[in-house]
């Protein structure tokens, strides 16, 4: 068991320079790294674990949890939820960001959930301020094609319930700092 708390460690990977796919499935669970238009990945983190389960609404969801080797169950530990962008996955968020490396350095746990519908989070479209004179076709007029409409009541939003449920699950599973 290697503990890196307090310093950063970058694990070398096997380059796949011929691949420019956004999220090539073959890199999941491997040491392959890609540079897709400037998105440099890291090797799939060794401590990243995949989970499936029903957290809310009788729907099976998928999420990934990264627990650094320095985790001590007798100590309160910070929790970070890292949400991917559209068309991404939880494991993709883990390899294209530095959250797992920072977790090793600073001693926190990271959860990377998958969006529940078509790799998009249920968000309210068109609710932030924008100059109506500068709207372009498809910019903020309704939900984009292929994206599930967000319920009016946030209490009915599956993704919100998933995130809150994951926080509760992490508190039951690990000694999470409530602060």
**Residue whose token pair is 């691949």:** 19
Q: What pLDDT is stored for residue 173 in this prediction?
A: 98
User: Has this prediction a pTM greater than 0.85?
Assistant: no
The residue among 33, 14, 11 whose CA lies nearest residue 23 is 33
CATH topology of domain 39-124+144-179: Rossmann fold (3.40.50)
Question: Once rounded to an integer, what is the mean pLDDT over residues 82-111?
Answer: 91
Whole-number average pLDDT of the chain: 81
Residues sharing a CB contact under 8 Å with residue 134, sequence separation 6 or more, in sequence order: none
pLDDT tens track for 124-157 = 554 444 445 554 444 455 555 555 666 677 777 7
Q: Do 47 and 146 meet the contact criterion of CB atoms below 8 Å apart?
A: no
Question: Once rounded to an integer, what is the mean pLDDT over residues 93-114?
Answer: 94
User: Taking 60 as the threshold, does the pLDDT of residue 10 lie above it?
Assistant: yes
DSSP the chain: ----TTS------EE-TT---SS-GGGTTSSEE-EETTEE--PPPTTEEEEEEEEETTEEEEEEEE--TT--TTS-B-EEE----TT--HHHHHHHSSHHHHHHHHT-EEEEEPPSBTTB----TT-S---GGG--TTSSSSPPTT-PPPPSSGGG-HHHHHHHHHHHHHHHHS-B---
Q: What pLDDT is stored for residue 128 in this prediction?
A: 43
Give the residue, 156 or 52, on which the prediction is more confident. Answer: 52
Q: Do 123 and 140 meet the contact criterion of CB atoms below 8 Å apart?
A: no
Q: Domain-by-domain residue ranges, the chain? A: 39-124+144-179
């Amino acid at each position: 068991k290697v503990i890196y708390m307090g310093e950063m460690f970058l694990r070398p990977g096997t380059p796949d320079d011929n691949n420019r796919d956004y999220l090539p499935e073959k890199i999941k669970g491997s040491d392959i790294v890609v540079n897709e238009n400037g998105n440099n990945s890291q090797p799939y983190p060794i401590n990243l674990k995949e989970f499936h389960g029903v957290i809310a609404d009788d729907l099976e969801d998928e999420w990934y949890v990264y627990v650094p080797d320095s985790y001590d169950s007798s100590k309160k530990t910070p929790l970070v939820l890292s949400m991917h962008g559209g068309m991404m996955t939880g494991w993709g968020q883990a390899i294209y960001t530095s959250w797992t490396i920072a977790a090793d350095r600073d001693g926190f746990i990271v959860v990377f959930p998958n969006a529940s519908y078509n790799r998009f989070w249920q968000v309210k479209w068109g609710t932030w301020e924008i100059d109506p004179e500068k709207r372009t076709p498809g910019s903020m007029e309704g939900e984009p094609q292929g994206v599930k409409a967000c319920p009016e009541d946030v209490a009915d939003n599956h993704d919100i319930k998933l995130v809150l449920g994951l926080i509760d699950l992490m508190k039951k599973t690990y000694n999470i700092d409530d602060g």
